[in-house]
Amino acid sequence: MPVGRLCRAATTRQRSTKRVLYGIHGTGHGHAMRGLTIARRLGRHQFLFVANDDAPKVLEPEFPVCRIPNLGTVFKNYRVDLPATVRRALPLLWHRQRYIDEVSRLIDQFRPDVCMTDLEYFVPRAAERAGLPCLTLDHQHVITCCRHDLPRDMWWDAAIQGLTPRYLFRPTAENLIISFYAPPVLPRYKARIAPPILRDSVLALQPHDAGHVLVYQSNSTHRALVDFLRAATDRICYVYGYDRTEGREGNVVFMRKSEEGFLRLLEGCAYVIQGGGHTLMGEALHLGKPILTLPLKAMVEQRFNALYIERLGYGMQADMLTLKPDLLRRFEANLPAYRAAIATGRFCGNETVFGLVDYFIRHGTLPASGEPRVEE
């Protein structure tokens, strides 16, 4: 839909207290679901999203979206396809001024009071040009805004891949980091850390242990995972996100994409096997489910998440390419200890985040401390 029509649609909605222009990273659904949950809860304000790729189909049923290209990651065979990612990024960066100008025109039409960005490139730059307050709200800036004690084998990757959130998606003057782990914030950044934002459908679940395993591996076609599951456990393993969507091999059942079915199996699983994505980790931990995480080596954020899963005693990390059956047996033997550690954590930050975001929207800044409530 043309920008002008979207803006007219936004301004004809019931007038809210404040107007918010919200840039959303389009790869996957996690960023869009976070933005949708926030916009639903803060319904007194008027939201207009800037997004592309996967995000609009999550957001457009309920909120207006202006489709503007954004930087994103291309995956192939459980790896980051670096050449394809670079080929996608270079034209956008070369013509970045054109897209910043497009967002600037959107600001002139929509007249937002504040801007927000969840790993989106153009909105914070247009906001800076317009002199508007901009809040960075994502998980990725836990890498750049916080101090970490990293193992040696992560030093180089953290330094190189950390350039992306440090410079391409650089922190703004106000930063709200959504994370199940909370390392100390570096003094040069103004940042708050809050627990994950959970969907209403997850909050409604009644967790129990029906004995099965939930496996989610996006961007995966590795045969090694199926062989590993068949050799390592007798539990039924329901697999989502694989290159097959139906059929069964021994104890491995391939599942067709279904949010309702996925949540039902998450609710009753004994534990979760997943990549390194933060959104599912937060949901699983909230439900008390231990995690065996198989992070993408080329995605430093996933490696940070996996490191803290293991460091905090919530589960174990492993390399997809070197899986051995005894690893899963050791993991299953430690399930009681993992569950005990998870029981001490706090994994739902909805009201904290809603209150902080509402405060920012109304005041253009985050409070230095405290957890303000949403003004109804």
Q: Are residues 241 and 294 in the same domain?
A: yes
Instruction: Return the percentage of the chain with pLDDT > 70, whole number.
Output: 83
Q: Which residues of the chain have pLDDT under 70?
A: 1-16, 71-93, 155-170, 218-222, 243
Q: Are residues 211 and 64 in the same domain?
A: no
Q: Are residues 94 and 108 in the same domain?
A: yes
Q: Per-residue pLDDT tens for 318-336?
A: 988 888 999 999 999 999 9
pLDDT value, residue 298 = 72
Q: Are residues 188 and 249 in the same domain?
A: no
Q: Are residues 205 and 192 in the same domain?
A: no
Q: Are residues 275 and 182 in the same domain?
A: no
Query: Please, what is the end-to-end C-alpha distance for the chain in angstroms?
Result: 32
CATH number of the domain to which 238 belongs = 3.40.50.2000
pLDDT value, residue 372 = 95
Q: Evaluate whether residue 369 is within a structural domain.
A: no
Q: Evaluate whether residue 373 is within a structural domain.
A: no
Q: Are residues 123 and 9 in the same domain?
A: yes
Distances in Å between the Cα of 231 and the Cα atoms of 226, 235, 249, 323 are 9, 11, 11, 11
Number of structural domains (the chain) is: 2
Distance CA 366, CA 174 (A): 7
Distance CA 288, CA 347 (A): 10
Q: Evaluate whether residue 23 is within a structural domain.
A: yes
Q: Return contacts of 111-114, CB within 8 angstroms, 24+ apart.
A: 111/19, 112/19, 112/20, 112/21, 112/48, 113/18, 113/19, 113/20, 113/361, 113/364, 114/18, 114/20, 114/21, 114/360, 114/361, 114/364
pLDDT value, residue 12 = 46
Distance CA 181, CA 155 (A): 19
Q: Evaluate whether residue 376 is within a structural domain.
A: no
Q: Evaluate whether residue 368 is within a structural domain.
A: no
Q: Is 171 in contact with 136 (CB distance < 8 Å)?
A: yes
Q: Are residues 311 and 356 in the same domain?
A: no
Strand (E) or helix (H) holding 135: strand 134-138
Q: Are residues 166 and 230 in the same domain?
A: no
Distance CA 24, CA 269 (A): 31
- The half-sphere exposure of 364 on its side-chain side, counting CA atoms within 13 A, is 7
Domain span including residue 307: 201-342
